[in-house]
Amino acid sequence: MRFPILPWNIRAWRSAFTAAGFPGWALLCLMIASSASVLDFGKGKQMHESLLSILLIRGPFSFAALIFVLVKPRIAKVGMRDLSFWFAAFSFLYLTSCLWSSDPLATLGKSFEMIVGALILLQASKGPDAGLRLEALGQITFLIISMLAFLSTLGFLARIPSFVQERPGLLTHTTANSPIVGGNGLGYIASALFLTVLGQWLAKQISWRSAWLQMSYALFLFIFASSRTSFGILALGITIVLLRRSKALMFSFIAVSGATLWIFRNGVMKVLLQGHSKLDIEGLDGRVLMWVAAYRAWKQHPILGYGGGVGGKVVISHMNVSSLMNMSTLHSGFMETLTGLGLIGIVIGAGLLLATTYYTVKEWKANPENAGLYVMIIHIWITSIMSQGVLGLMGFEFGIYFTLIGFIDLSRRKARFDRAVYRMPISAYRPSFVH
């Protein structure tokens, strides 16, 4: 399994959309709708808070995604043993929460994207070429996020004011923070691109020249990011990928990384602090404070929550902390799900993620050549804890999540079919003759 990440690779774009068909175009529209954060004419509101931007961008692209899905309305048959069934169930719960949501319109818009995402997954999983189509969805996802990160970096290098933030990075005094990709988002994207290429290379799916070119590109993007979480993603991801290949490689990486961090500890701490105090770091930039408040708010509506996608807003609006008033989410997909969809939502959402992780580990052992995809489960977990991930609302990782869930379901169905054939009596293989 190969996922080229260079955004100027026209052949990769063409082959991915050819293989994916209408689900691929639907995914493109959905990612544009969900990941854009265009400012509303300088009023300081992000896209998900701006009615005008919703009407001009998010709404039209979401409906365009639905239209592409409905061009050929065919979906795969799934049962309760399929992960895609539970993703559809999670999406349906999201939609149903409009009935008790504290902000029904906001929940309706976000649940619409979840429902369309579920339809994309089910449609791509239909037919004998489902594996090729699902792989193409993953390819499209990596190319789209790579293009967004590349454009954001170009805007930063051109010193366009809306693309620059006064926050130190690895080698620069300022970092990229564009309307399309924030500083944290750029770090998440760069780390995801690096890990998938590393996984493909160590699985011998691509040549070392191709790998080093693409990893260098990903690290180039990473230089201008302002995400501390992405450091952890890279460190843990590289460690696990190396462990899957060789324990000696893993221990060597840990030793070299540890020595480097110790030698340059002052510079590393300066980068990690990014102008904040150590107390801010220990509090995870206000995350701990928000999570404690979220837990207390959840206890008031423990079963159903405050409505999909709006739990964080309810919590923050009642905190009366000036430094957090500009926050629009709890920066945790788990806490957003807990407050938004309650106990039922967290059981389904987190249960699905745990099951996906379990089967990913099994598949990684059985099919190490697909390491470029399987390594993304690490990325999904960390971003779901520290950011939105795949639990809070629709984002760029969902294309990867779709691919992962779809491949696991296909593999498990094949295993069940093989077991059924193996258990068939010998007489079932013998042709019957009519005299």
Q: Single out the residue of 299, 12, 39, 267 nearest to residue 146, CA to CA.
A: 12
pLDDT on residue 180 = 81
What is the band of 39 on the pLDDT scale with cuts at 50, 70, 90?
Answer: very low
What is the band of 276 on the pLDDT scale with cuts at 50, 70, 90?
Answer: low
Q: What is the chain's mean pLDDT, rounded?
A: 83
Q: Single out the residue of 356, 386, 354, 373 nearest to residue 230, CA to CA.
A: 386
Tens digits of per-residue pLDDT, 196-226?
999 999 989 999 999 999 999 999 999 988 8
Q: What angle do CA 217, 221, 223 make, to 5 degrees?
A: 115
Q: Say if residue 280's pLDDT is above 50.
A: no
User: What are the φ/ψ torsions at residue 338 (nearest 5 degrees)?
Assistant: -60, -45
Instruction: Supply the DSSP string of 396-416, one letter for each residue.
Output: THHHHHHHHHHHHHHHHHHHH
In this structure, what token pair is assigned to residue 112?
A: 């619409």
Q: Say if residue 38's pLDDT is above 60.
A: no
Tens digits of per-residue pLDDT, 98-109?
999 998 988 898
How far is it, in rounded angstroms, from Cα 351 to Cα 86? 9
Tens digits of per-residue pLDDT, 113-137?
999 999 999 999 988 899 999 999 9
Cross-strand pairs, 175 = 165
Polymer length of the chain: 435
Tens digits of per-residue pLDDT, 184-202?
889 999 999 999 999 999 9
Residues 411-428, mean pLDDT to the nearest whole number: 71
What 3-state class would DSSP assign to 129? coil
pTM (2 decimals)? 0.88
